[in-house]
Structure 1
């Protein structure tokens, strides 16, 4: 399946305590009825859903629990289904690929608790920029990290690797580095891939990782 070429009229949102990056991978265990319906709909219509970073509230609704206001970041990333497997009755294991970043103008919470965004706008993909000599150390360190991760059976690595692309390198480092969710969201939202990689490079040097 391929990502929609244009922004959908409406987009179902999946708030999570994580930040999905374009070109990244995300594995989910889905068991709530509203999200099982979301996955079924996306499979049937070959459409993505939107992953947004959850700021307040829970992605899982607990019966009898007091209502908590749900808040999430105003920018997310499209998630395209790559693989869906039934783990057990009523439980799906889902693998997704990160697509374009998006924003919206209005939100609506459906009666089943599923959030729906309208007025969706897709942000442009990162322009192709080589890392250059300035970021050669960051690139080489990521190559070493990926070589080590590839030895782990549980590792979720992108199928395609683009170490010659600054935005791709920055995004992959952002997924690996132990930084707060707020900082990860800010990095994802940066439109200049060289600026994003520059901040990553500064962090790596400050921790003596390169």
Structure 2
């Protein structure tokens, strides 16, 4: 079902969603459509990923009123970490994003499953968080700390920010913020597609400031110096 990328490309099953999966991001899925039950089971048994792509038209679950599905051509591979059959005809999958890919072509099979021909996109280079963006990193640390108790409160919920933590990596910090921010999927998709992790983090910092989630660095410095709040 999946062939490793040797530079010439590979073929893989696709799971179009109304969300954007980032590398190292966590994704929980409840799978009940026939077209995905077999695909997810096979991927888990074979230890192979599937591709998550963000929908531009159509719905995640097909019905008689659904419009034709279309989706972005840049997505992220999802590796299944655990799979449970909670009820007949229902699978619960916990997945992690790995590498970004670019679709060169896609086709929909008779039973509705999409298959894609893809090549891998280069992973982000490791770029240290610069001093003027440390406030963005520190704010994410605070969010992660506040969410950590969810994994131990008996509810079964897990923190959306998973280990290993890479606090000094621009791309990793930007990706985790993109997953958390209440912005449109289209904007998240554009951030995910950027090949410059520092630029992605700068854009995230702008969004955080506009949403009044994190104050700008200049504002923070002014308050620290005893200036007006």
**TM score, norm. by length of structure 2:** 0.85
1:173-199: CA deviation from partner (whole Å, max 9, x where unpaired): 000111111100000000000000000
Contact preservation (8 Å) 2:4, 2:10: no
How many residues are aligned here? Answer: 205
Matches of 1:46 and 1:17, distance apart in 2: 25
Residues 5 and 119, structure 2, Cα contact 8 Å, conserved in 1: no
* Correspondence for 1:160: 164
SS at match of 1:104: strand
Distance 1:156 1:88 in 2: 25
The aligned counterpart of 1:80 is 79
- The CA RMSD measured in Å over matched residues stands at 1.6
Shift of 1:34: 1.2
Q: Contact 1:130–1:166 at 8 Å: present in 2 too?
A: yes
Give the distance between the partners of 2:17 and 2:6, measured in 1 at CA.
Answer: 24
The residue aligned with 1:173 is 177
Report what 1:10 is aligned to. 11
**Cα offset, 1:159, TM superposition:** 2.3
Q: Which runs of 4+ in 1 moved over 3 A?
A: 3-8
Larger Rg: 2
Normalized against structure 1, the TM-score is what? 0.92
Superposed counterparts of 1:1-210, under 5 Å: 6=6, 9-62=10-63, 65-66=64-65, 68-118=67-117, 120-153=118-151, 154=157, 155-210=159-214
Q: CA deviation at 1:67?
A: 5.3
Residue-by-residue CA offset, 1:92-133 (whole Å, 9 max, x unaligned): 110000011111211110001000002x11001100000020
CA contact (8 A) 2:17 2:55 kept: yes
Cα deviation for residue 4 of structure 1 reads: 5.0
User: C-alpha distance in 1, partners of 2:197/2:5?
Assistant: 22
User: Hey, what's the Cα distance between the residues in 2 that align with 1:132 and 1:67?
Assistant: 46
Distance 1:151 1:6 in 2: 42
- Flag structure 2 segments of 5+ consecutive residues without an equivalent: 152-156, 215-229
Larger relative contact order (C-alpha < 8 A, sep ≥ 6)?
Answer: 1
